[in-house]
């Protein structure tokens, strides 16, 4: 059985999808972008966007009853592969040990013209 996960501490869905879904103790998140859920604003700076997107993911996972420590897979979508090292640096502030498997791909465009988006699969521990 699937359970819809939602929180006001992460951006609301922009379209017809859920922030996250739980199935059999696994959490599947939608892509988190750098919208500040309190103000609706998006920072312009890459590092500020990464921080906000990763914070949104953290908040969503906590609402689901898990944490970044229980993430097993992430996918990071970035607008410019030249930003890979900078995004990695910020990513490593949120994922500090037993790193999840990860894919990182450059894409032509992201929702709201943000510079990155992250989605994750986590387990409940």
Provide the annotated active-site residues.
104
Q: Which residues contact 88 (CB under 8 A, 6 or more apart)?
A: none
3-state class percentages of the chain: helix first, strand second, coil last, to nearest 5: 30, 30, 40
Token pair for 89: 């640096």
- Contact predicate 30/119, CB 8 Å: yes
């Amino acid at each position: 059985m699937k359970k819809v996960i939602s929180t006001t501490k992460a951006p609301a869905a922009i379209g017809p999808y859920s922030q996250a879904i739980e199935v059999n103790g696994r959490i599947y998140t939608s892509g988190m972008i750098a919208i500040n859920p309190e103000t609706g604003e998006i920072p312009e700076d890459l590092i500020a966007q990464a921080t906000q997107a990763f914070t949104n993911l953290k908040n969503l996972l906590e609402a689901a009853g898990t944490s970044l420590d229980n993430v097993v897979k992430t996918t990071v979508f970035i607008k410019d592969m030249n930003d890979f090292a900078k995004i990695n640096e910020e990513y490593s502030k949120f994922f500090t040990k037993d790193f999840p498997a990860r894919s990182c791909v450059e894409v032509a465009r992201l929702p709201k013209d943000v510079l990155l988006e992250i989605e994750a699969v986590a387990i409940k521990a």
